[in-house]
Structure 1
Amino acid sequence: MKKVTMFVWNHFTNDARVNRECTTLADNGYDINLIAINDPKNPAISAYEEISNTFKVHRVKRYPWLLQAYQDHGKKFLLVVAGVQVVIIPSLFYISFTLMAAYLLSLVVAAGMIKFKKIRKWFINGAIITRMIVKGYIQNADIYHANDLNTLPQAIVCSKLRLKPKPLIYDSHEVQSDRTGYNPKTIKSIESFMLKFVDQMIVENHTRAKYNEDIYGFYPKTLYNYSEKYNIEEKPQINLHKKIGINEDEKILLYQGGLQQGRGLELLIEAMDEIEEGHLLFIGGGKLTQPLKEQAEASKQAYRIHFLDKVPFQELPSYTREAYLGFQVLQNICFNHYSASSNKLFEYMMAHVPVISCDFPEIKKVVEETNTGLVVDSHNASEIANTVNQLVKDTSLRNQLSENTKQAKEIYNWNNEKSKLLEVYNQFVPIEHPITQFHTK
């Protein structure tokens, strides 16, 4: 059985895409070891998890021991350390002034690591990268797979710094060189250099593949972020109305996913002033959680705006199915957003929930071709509100859009896409008895 080591820079608790890829490979004769990051704040997450006999998750420690002790004990830890120094420093001075100076320097570095956020982040990330490399190198896999740029260095070291180099797949879920919070010029230089070591690059769609060709000179493989195919009627039912404290006859206007910049979430709250009926529900978490809650509390429509923490992806369909409509209103603040074909769109589709979407090329193409939702200017709160009102008032239109999802999901699902992933793997590490027949869409 061919061994695969895959890296992902998260806790692997809500990464549906990586889970789909790992499960597909494991079901088709590959032995998968996924290296992720442990979460010391969540005791429910284990350092080692066996999803199946051929799919195992290894979570490396997040913090260096010094920072972990500080995180756990705070001022008590600092007092203990200070007390110990009272004994150690005079002793070292007695032995050697140079030794004492070196020790004091290490204390300064440690203090900086604790006190200064930027230095602390460097040490944390450095520790994670080192642990990932050690774990991945020891596994000596037949092929290595990096999910996004932040795990590519680890995969390069593990796959290429060997007497006999191993194949390396770079699976870029984002447009790394044009996304919020990153320096495009710096990231482009780093990615361009690292691509020299990559045997196959994968991107989310053809819009991104063409962009990649324009800046790097080659057209990578595409692997669309479609949802797993399932029958929504077979998913467990929950009383979402009761969970958020509203009457059963109220319409839920759902946004599910990360609460991050550039997703039009502030505009959804703003639009509630003009939306005549329905309750806005956010399911998820992120950097904007608190600002959005504060905006909602200040709104006159506060009683119609609700928040739930993120839900494990295995349970999410039970929540999605309760919605009257779903939102996918990304804003054009970077090419990464403009070119997205977000999994959220297909999660709504799989649950038979009509979508109100942005008019960006990949998303607009799906929504209009399948007639499973309505496209809006995602930068215009009034247009979003008017479109919601249209669907709320016209239940026959809403029901027709919902009915259309039943045909659309037969096309836009992972069962029709996963063969492309298997073709990539078969190119480098073929298996003797593949379970899934390869075909090209």
Structure 2
Amino acid sequence: AHDLDALWPAVRAARRLRRPLVYDSHEFWIEQSSLVNRPLVRSFWSLLERHLIKRVDRVITVSQSIAESLTTRYGLGGVVILRNFPLFREKVQSDLIRETLDLPANRPIVLYQGGFLTENGLREQIEAAAGFGDAALVLIGDGPSEKALKEQVRAGGLQDRVYFIDRVPFHQLHDYTCSADLGLCLIKGAGKSFYYSLPNKLFEYMMAGLPVVASNFPEMQRVVSKTDTGVTIDPTDIDAIRQQVTQLLSDEKRRAACSQACLDAAQHYHWEREAGQLTDLYSTLG
């Protein structure tokens, strides 16, 4: 069962077919931002999960923090941490962003890639971009906040500092990523699902050799601190975003060291290394 909304029918199917059941608590469902201010709805999902989780054979989740929370909340044992890493990609030589936007070859690119969602910190990143010096902030993707973000750029007179590229096919995304200089992963902590998250883009940036500026939340901070691949900050602190981006861009020696650390870390943080835990788990179920 992939997340809580699929668990009830999965429990029924497993019981009818007499098959073992694995529950993948991928999104930390009851701690999603959409439920933060909806206590009655959240209580319903919480009671449902407490009732159904007793009927599963194994539980999987995506981070240590979520595993610890589920263990404490429901008295579980042996929650398997299966991090949702991307497939490994080698860094490629690319200048695709500058070519697409007709930007000078020497203009630094600060990149965000992913969904344009309310809690992804994009409003703060756009506001901070006014102080990125000669660097361009490039947002690749789409989503429900796109219109509001473009209006923010227009209203702030930031059209020469903030650029949008429509969502690109996934098999092409890596070439765009490799053409940037710095990656932003500044999701906001609205709900513990986000607070304990470990976004794919963090590791996609590493595979492209991009030093990262990430949220100072437990999982992201653990990875960035361990690998020395960038910095972590409060994602709502616009001055801190501006300061850390400009410092990394102006310090060529540090940026080069972080870039190499990213490529080194990418050799470990990819799905091919992680997948064995999943096959091992299934092999124990018979």
The aligned residue for residue 82 of structure 2 is 223
Rg: which structure is higher?
1
SS at the partner of 1:302? coil
What secondary structure sits across from 2:104 in the alignment? coil
The aligned amino acid for 1:266 is R
Residue 362 of structure 1 and its aligned partner are, at CA, apart by: 1.0
Deviation string for 1:281-308 (max 9, x for gaps)? 1112222111111111111222221122
- Provide the C-alpha distance between the structure 2 equivalents of 1:351 and 1:149, rounded to a whole number of angstroms: 34
Tell me the CA shift for residue 229 of structure 1.
1.9
CA–CA separation in structure 2 for the residues paired with 1:245 and 1:191: 51
Q: Which residue of 2 aligns with 1:152?
A: 7
| Structure 2 residue 127 is the aligned partner of structure 1 residue 274 | no
Q: Which amino acid aligns with 1:277?
A: D
Give per-residue Cα distances to partners, 1:363-414, cap 9 Å, x unaligned: 1111111111112221100110011111121122111110111221222222
Q: Secondary structure at the match of 1:227?
A: coil
Q: Name the SS for the 2:30 alignment partner.
A: coil
Identity of aligned residues (%): 32
The count of residues paired between Structure 1 and Structure 2 equals: 280
Aligned partner of 1:407: which letter?
D
For 1:148, the aligned partner's letter is: D
Indicate conservation of the 8 Å contact 1:228/1:414, yes or no. yes
The equivalences for 1:99-114 within 5 A come to none
Q: Counterparts in 2 of 1:36-435, with a 5 A limit? A: 146-160=1-15, 162=16, 164-182=17-35, 183-219=41-77, 220-233=79-92, 237=94, 239-429=96-286
Mapped to 2, the partners of 1:258 and 1:154 lie a distance apart of 29
8 Å CA contact 1:277–1:389 kept in 2: the answer is no
Alignment check: 8 A CA contact 1:153 1:194 kept: yes
1:72-124 deviations in Å (ceiling 9; x for gaps)? xxxxxxxxxxxxxxxxxxxxxxxxxxxxxxxxxxxxxxxxxxxxxxxxxxxxx
Measure how far apart 1:178 and its partner are: 1.0
Which amino acid in structure 1 is aligned with residue 30 of structure 2?
Answer: S
1:23: which partner in 2? Answer: none
State how far apart, in whole Å, the 2-side matches of 1:151 and 1:309 are.
Answer: 31
**Deviation of 1:359 (Å):** 0.8
Contact map agreement 1:277 1:392 (CA 8 A) in 2: no
Closer/same/farther in 2, CA of residues 173 and 313 from structure 1, 3 Å limit: farther
Partner SS state of residue 272, structure 1? helix
Amino acid at match of 2:91: I
* Distance of 2:144 and 2:7 partners within structure 1: 25
Distance in structure 2 (CA, Å) of the matches to 1:315 and 1:153 = 37
Q: Give ranges in structure 2 of 5+ residues lacking alignment.
A: 36-40
The one-letter amino acid of 1:302's match is Q
- The 8 Å contact of residues 183 and 211 in structure 2, kept in 1 or not, is answered as yes
Runs of at least 5 residues in structure 1 that lack an aligned partner in the other structure: 1-145, 430-441
- Measured against aligned partners, the alpha-carbon deviations of 1:127-152 in whole angstroms (never above 9, x if no partner) come to xxxxxxxxxxxxxxxxxxx2222322
Q: What SS does the corresponding residue of 2:118 show, helix, strand or coil? A: coil
Q: Distance in 2 between matches of 1:312 and 1:166?
A: 37
Q: CA deviation at 1:209?
A: 0.4
User: How far apart are residue 242 of structure 1 and its match?
Assistant: 2.0
Q: Give me the whole-angstrom Cα distance separating, in 1, the residues matched to 2:248 and 2:95.
A: 24
Tell me, yes or no, if the aligned pair for 1:258 and 1:286 is still in contact at 8 Å.
yes
Q: Distance in 2 between matches of 1:382 and 1:253?
A: 16
Aligned residue for 2:38?
A: none
Q: Distance in 2 between matches of 1:382 and 1:399?
A: 24
Please give the alpha-carbon distance, in whole angstroms, between the structure 2 residues aligned to 1:316 and 1:210.
33
Question: What amino acid maps onto 1:204 in structure 2?
Answer: V
Offset of residue 337 of structure 1:
1.3
Contact 1:273 1:300 in 2 (8 A): no
Alpha-carbon distance between aligned partners in 1 of 2:273 and 2:233, rounded to the nearest angstrom: 28
